[in-house]
Chains A and B, each alone.
Chain A
Amino acid sequence: MSQSTGRVLGVNGNMVSVIVEGDVALNEVGYITVDSDGEEKRLKSEVIRVRGDRAEVQVFEMTRGIGVDDRVEFTGELLAVELGPGLLGRVYDGLQNPLPELAAQCGFFLDRGVYLNALDRKLTWAFTPKVAVGETVERADTLGIVPEGIFEHRIMVPFNRYGSYTVRQIASAGEYTVDHEIARLADKDGNEIGVTMMFEWPVKRAVDCYAERLKPEDPMVTKVRIIDTFFPVALGGTYCIPGPFGAGKTVLQQITSRNAEVDIVIVAACGERAGEVVETLREFPELTDPRTGRTLMERTVIICNTSSMPVAAREASVYTAVTIAEYYRQMGLNVLLLADSTSRWAQAMREMSGRLEEIPGEEAFPAYLESVIAGFYERAGVVRLRDGGHGSVTIGGTVSPAGGNFEEPVTQATLKVVGAFHGLSRERSDARRYPSIHPLESWSKYRGPIDRGMVEYARDALHRGNEVGQMMKVVGEEGTSLDDYLWYLKSEFTDAVYLQQNAFDMVDAAVDTERQRFAFAMLFTLLTRKLSFAAKEEARSWFAELRQRFIDFNGAKWQGDEFNRLHKEIVSTIEARTAGTEENAEQLVGERG
């Protein structure tokens, strides 16, 4: 692509119209030169519409001070990110500008027009070649490896090098910087290209260098009971967390970002509070990842475009995040992308669509909202790589529906494409029943680690208890039969000891699969037993006491003395009350033998 220039024609918020001399591509990056307090600043922008020789660009910075006739330089390149070793542990803005480095240069504030390298050019990496001269390679094939933290980071043929190449030269083992040439490849016509340890990839294009996409089957363990047991997420799957403000979306994602059993977590703080990112930013370097013994930060990348940062960069930020996720997937890793909140991203699109004067859809969102959301979540997936290995990108996005009402365009469009729905309820968060995922309205299409039949049984019990609870509001406790009342107590019990989980308790905060199976089996026993009580009051206090014990049990160290003691007590307490098996459970219990 040639590099064209242009002149500013008009400014409307963060959208600038430009008259272009030469060719220009959609999503091409351009820089607007503006005089800012006597200093010349170049403001990064992206072409979002072309009509004849007129282009509309969205500016990733404040547009104050731009004037008609200001010069625009197009780069010939699409909006892209740098890929290579050294992404892990970093904190970037939506355009992959490293924020701590920016702070070191500019101080407290985000000065506009300052763009730093995403990857450190001075750091060296211990390279080991994996190909020999004369071998044939394609894009994404491994040329060598470098250790990056606990991972073996693959140095690959850049994804944008289509066709096949012959290796002409390959660097010997040694320490190199990312921009050092480590190989020379020749295409079929003999033209040579140099390859370094880094390359760029346009963020809005999905990385597609794998052999095949597979169906997500294996669970991605979050260590949140209600999720793993009732509404599981699969590696390579997608899920969403809609909920009104303050319901616990961010806390749930923060918990997941710490505890999820994946290799790498990409946190995309998209248009939300800066303060929330700071917690992650300050705490992760101090927290140990139990899987690796290293700090959590070493498996994390933070993309942070908070609500007061420029809106256009917010739109780009989710793509920056997913591109980095896809890059690590190519190394055979399981990557989890958590985006908070996708509604802010959709709103960024809405703002731009409004400025472009496009015909608005519902609530003024653009008509293409659905397809853009679908396109984003479609970038998740488990893939078989060409070397036979597997990698996955799992995407979880929060949704912040206006008025907390799920009947709105972003929630609805998201529900159409995701594999699991964790709907947070105001009622539950007000009652401080955390995590406030609604147990009756949420769903998942994935398989979890716990036996399905048993989970279905528990779900039915919750339904039944809920119905009794509703009825009781009208007729009072007096008007409810003992049998119904027991279902109510069983479901409340399930809620208190299993669905709710104490994020602040050292032990209860993260429950692995083994322990979930164990605890669920105990709960299942209770649910399937016919219990004998003389009166409601007796039942109520029996359950209250059992509940307290179960909560203590949840806080007891796995298979410690306290754990074993409480387990025994709970089991024998239940046995002592048992008067048979519930009819609807006979078959299930029988099957389990």
Chain B
Amino acid sequence: MRKVYSRIEAIAGNVITVTADDVRYGHLAMVTTRYGKSLAEVIRLDGNRVSLQVFAGGRGISTGDEVVFLGHPMQVSFSDNLLGRIFDGRGTPRDAGPPLEDNLIEIGGPSVNPAMRIIPRNMIRTGIPMIDVFNSLVESQKLPIFSVSGEPYNELLSRIAMQAEVDMIILGGMGLKYDDYLYFREVLEEGGAMSRTVFFVHTASDPVVECLLVPDISLAVAEKFALGGKRVLVLLTDMTNFADSMKEIAITMEQVPSNRGYPGDLYSQLASRYEKAVDFEGAGSITILGVTTMPGDDVTHPVPDNTGYITEGQYYLRNGRIEPFGSLSRLKQLVNDKTRDDHRAVMDGMITLYANYRESVEKRSMGFRMSEWDTKLLKYGALFESEMMDLSVNIPLEQALDRGWSILAECFAPAESGLRTELINRFWPSTGGSPGSVAATAESGSDGETA
């Protein structure tokens, strides 16, 4: 029989303190209040004074409530029965299905030995040209979508989830609006993907501590599936809510904040989650796609800033489109040389021209005269935005590359494209200008990558 402690000495925010013996750091306790039971986790030991963070929150806890220590850390049930199910941050069902209790695994386990990692090599196709062509997503990559509230980042996530060539999807929702939660469920159900999906969802109205558990529980389950050979895509939205929950606990624990109230270990905390992305040699993989909303649209805010230092690139979602500038997949060069011969050249060439287009737009807005070249660029920019950048565009990579060539042909003479002659001869659409017609050189290729 486990010992029952019925004297809570302090209650501050979501943290309670009891006097107890034989308690271990990181283990769980069950707190029983008149509103129900809640799990709590030991977050500090000081002699026999034990501080716990209560998953359901501190509200309503009375000093006379009962605390029973369970003698183990946070666990989640792992089996194929998880598939198609929806849980909250603690792993209790949100759907009508039965609770799962068999084969419990610990969450927040050790990290992968760097010596066991391999160089990523497989592209994940999404059907979104701004990703597939310009910033390819790679299996085992960790990549956030930087955005602001109001942008369709969850729509983008669900689209990628539906189209990505992976074996299964784990959605970790943090501070998700209830509508968004329903939206995800609907999309996956309609697309017939529910049977290969597991949801761990914390909604905006759920206790804040549960939000903290979502990445760990999602990634622990993902890791087991990956070790079993599955290619798992983990979607985490919104990691800023996760960081804010951490901030709240840190402040309750009277930790000295480092930057805008966030704890000094924000970087390490985020990194230990994102670094779970991995490709297990001889087994499956974990790819992490997150959402990080930027408070005040400020990328130097501690959450996006620390995230950028951890992840392997980022997609900026702005005005409903993935921005070509700032967006970066740091692993793309590992895969885009194996797709089609013109992939890299089209990627570099089109972006260089798009950058020139932006300059022309700026010149125009300052009232400078538009040259013939500027006019061509303006036409190109408009086409690029509607035919490539628009999120409604949904075509395979090869088709997107073809489309790239036809946009170029519609706007420029071959020599103006800045692309190599050899590629132009192979790929330039015959209906466009004839190769080598206009001699003007485009101001491009200065980074040497197009050459």
Could you tell me which A residues sit within 8 Å of B by CB distance? 8-13, 17, 62-68, 91, 99-100, 102-103, 106-112, 244-246, 269, 271, 273-275, 277-279, 281-282, 304, 306-309, 311, 344, 347, 350-351, 354, 360, 363-365, 400, 402-405, 430-434, 476, 496, 500, 502, 504-505, 508, 541, 544-545, 547, 551
Query: CB-CB < 8 A to B331: which residues of A?
Result: 275
User: How distant is the Cα of A111 from the Cα of B110 in the complex, in angstroms?
Assistant: 7
Question: Are A351 and B113 closer than 8 Å at their CB atoms?
Answer: no
The DSSP consensus for interface residues of chain B is loop
Q: Is B1 an interface residue (CB 8 A)?
A: no
- B268-281, CB under 8 A of A: which get 1 and which 0? 10011001100010
Question: Are A109 and B114 closer than 8 Å at their CB atoms?
Answer: no
Of B2-10, B44-52, B91-99, B163-171, the one contacting chain A is B44-52
Of B201-209, B256-264, B383-391, the one contacting chain A is B256-264
Query: CB-CB < 8 A to B26: which residues of A?
Result: 63-65
User: How distant is the Cα of A403 from the Cα of B245 in the complex, in angstroms?
Assistant: 21
Jot down 6 A-B pairs with beta carbons below 8 A, ordered by A. Answer: A9-B46, A62-B110, A63-B26, A110-B112, A307-B310, A496-B446
Q: With A274-B275, A307-B310 given, is the CB distance from A68 to B258 under 8 Å?
A: no
Query: CB-CB < 8 A to B227: which residues of A?
Result: 108
Query: CB-CB < 8 A to B271: which residues of A?
Result: 271, 307-308
Q: Is B179 an interface residue (CB 8 A)?
A: no
Question: Are A275 and B268 closer than 8 Å at their CB atoms?
Answer: no
Question: Are B119 and A278 closer than 8 Å at their CB atoms?
Answer: yes
Question: Are A306 and B27 closer than 8 Å at their CB atoms?
Answer: no
Q: Is B25 an interface residue (CB 8 A)?
A: yes
User: How distant is the Cα of A9 from the Cα of B256 in the complex, in angstroms?
Assistant: 23
Question: Are A350 and B258 closer than 8 Å at their CB atoms?
Answer: yes
User: How distant is the Cα of A168 from the Cα of B25 in the complex, in angstroms?
Assistant: 54
* CB interface residues, B 22-46, toward A, < 8 Å: 22-27, 44-46
Question: Are A405 and B267 closer than 8 Å at their CB atoms?
Answer: no
Pick the residue among A63, A65, A91, A354 that contacts B115 (CB under 8 A).
A91
Nearest 7 A-B pairs (CB), nearest first? Answer: A403-B300, A307-B271, A64-B26, A308-B275, A245-B308, A99-B115, A308-B111
User: How distant is the Cα of A108 from the Cα of B441 in the complex, in angstroms?
Assistant: 53
Question: Are B265 and A351 closer than 8 Å at their CB atoms?
Answer: yes
Q: With A282-B118, A432-B447 given, is the CB distance from A65 to B111 under 8 Å?
A: no
Q: With A110-B111, A273-B275, A496-B446 given, is the CB distance from A11 to B308 under 8 Å?
A: no
Question: Are A65 and B27 closer than 8 Å at their CB atoms?
Answer: yes
Query: 10 new A-B pairs (CB below 8 Å) besides A17-B46, A402-B300?
Result: A62-B110, A63-B25, A65-B73, A68-B23, A274-B117, A275-B117, A351-B268, A354-B264, A360-B256, A364-B256
Pick the residue among A103, A269, A350 that contacts B113 (CB under 8 A).
A103
Query: CB-CB < 8 A to A354: which residues of B?
Result: 255-256, 263-264
Question: Are B25 and A11 closer than 8 Å at their CB atoms?
Answer: yes
Query: CB-CB < 8 A to A500: which residues of B?
Result: 446-448
Query: CB-CB < 8 A to B258: which residues of A?
Result: 350, 363-365
Query: CB-CB < 8 A to B267: which residues of A?
Result: 271, 307, 344, 347
B281: nearest chain-A partner, CB-CB: A108
* B384 CB to nearest chain A CB (Å): 18
B263: nearest chain-A partner, CB-CB: A354
Question: Are A10 and B265 closer than 8 Å at their CB atoms?
Answer: no
Q: With A10-B44, A68-B45, A68-B47 given, is the CB distance from A278 to B114 under 8 Å?
A: yes
Pick the residue among B113, B264, B308 that contacts A99 (CB under 8 A).
B113
Q: Is B244 an interface residue (CB 8 A)?
A: no
Q: With A64-B25, A364-B264 given, is the CB distance from A246 to B308 under 8 Å?
A: yes
User: How distant is the Cα of A430 from the Cα of B267 in the complex, in angstroms?
Assistant: 24
Pick the residue among B24, B114, B268 that contacts A311 (CB under 8 A).
B268
Q: Is B109 an interface residue (CB 8 A)?
A: yes
Q: With A306-B275, A432-B447, A502-B448 given, is the CB distance from A275 to B305 under 8 Å?
A: no
Q: Is B89 an interface residue (CB 8 A)?
A: no
Q: Is B116 an interface residue (CB 8 A)?
A: yes
Q: Is B127 an interface residue (CB 8 A)?
A: no
Q: Is B449 an interface residue (CB 8 A)?
A: yes
Which of B48, B108, B115 has the most chain A CB atoms inside 10 A of its CB? B115
Q: With A63-B26, A347-B264, A360-B256 given, is the CB distance from A430 to B114 under 8 Å?
A: no
Question: Are B45 and A67 closer than 8 Å at their CB atoms?
Answer: yes
Query: CB-CB < 8 A to A306: which residues of B?
Result: 111, 114, 275
Q: With A11-B45, A64-B26, A311-B268 given, is the CB distance from A109 to B117 under 8 Å?
A: no
Q: Is B330 an interface residue (CB 8 A)?
A: yes
B227: nearest chain-A partner, CB-CB: A108
- B310-332, CB under 8 A of A: which get 1 and which 0? 10110000000000011010110
Query: CB-CB < 8 A to A431: which residues of B?
Result: 447
Question: Are B110 and A68 closer than 8 Å at their CB atoms?
Answer: no
Q: Is B21 an interface residue (CB 8 A)?
A: yes
Q: With A275-B312, A400-B309, A502-B448 given, is the CB distance from A102 to B326 under 8 Å?
A: no
User: How distant is the Cα of A311 from the Cα of B330 in the complex, in angstroms?
Assistant: 25
Question: Are A246 and B119 closer than 8 Å at their CB atoms?
Answer: no
Q: Is B155 an interface residue (CB 8 A)?
A: no
User: How distant is the Cα of A64 from the Cα of B74 in the complex, in angstroms?
Assistant: 11
Query: CB-CB < 8 A to B48: which residues of A?
Result: 68
Q: Is B451 an interface residue (CB 8 A)?
A: yes
* B295 CB to nearest chain A CB (Å): 13
Question: Are B112 and A274 closer than 8 Å at their CB atoms?
Answer: yes
Which of B271, B300, B368 has the most chain A CB atoms inside 10 A of its CB? B271
B451: nearest chain-A partner, CB-CB: A551
Query: CB-CB < 8 A to A434: which residues of B?
Result: 447
Question: Are A275 and B441 closer than 8 Å at their CB atoms?
Answer: no
Query: CB-CB < 8 A to A541: which residues of B?
Result: 441
Q: With A307-B268, A363-B259 given, is the CB distance from A10 to B310 under 8 Å?
A: no
User: How distant is the Cα of A350 from the Cα of B256 in the complex, in angstroms?
Assistant: 10
Pick the residue among B113, B268, B312 that contacts A102 (CB under 8 A).
B113
Query: CB-CB < 8 A to B111: which residues of A?
Result: 109-110, 274, 306, 308-309
Q: Is B84 an interface residue (CB 8 A)?
A: no
User: How distant is the Cα of A547 from the Cα of B258 in the complex, in angstroms?
Assistant: 47
User: How distant is the Cα of A430 from the Cα of B314 in the complex, in angstroms?
Assistant: 13
Question: Are B24 and A279 closer than 8 Å at their CB atoms?
Answer: no
Question: Are B24 and A67 closer than 8 Å at their CB atoms?
Answer: yes
* A29 CB to nearest chain B CB (Å): 20
Question: Are B448 and A273 closer than 8 Å at their CB atoms?
Answer: no
Question: Are B368 and A476 closer than 8 Å at their CB atoms?
Answer: yes
User: How distant is the Cα of A282 from the Cα of B21 in the complex, in angstroms?
Assistant: 49
Query: CB-CB < 8 A to B447: which residues of A?
Result: 431-434, 500, 502
Question: Are B110 and A112 closer than 8 Å at their CB atoms?
Answer: yes
A505: nearest chain-B partner, CB-CB: B448
User: How distant is the Cα of A544 from the Cα of B111 in the complex, in angstroms?
Assistant: 51
Q: Is B302 an interface residue (CB 8 A)?
A: yes
* A44 CB to nearest chain B CB (Å): 15
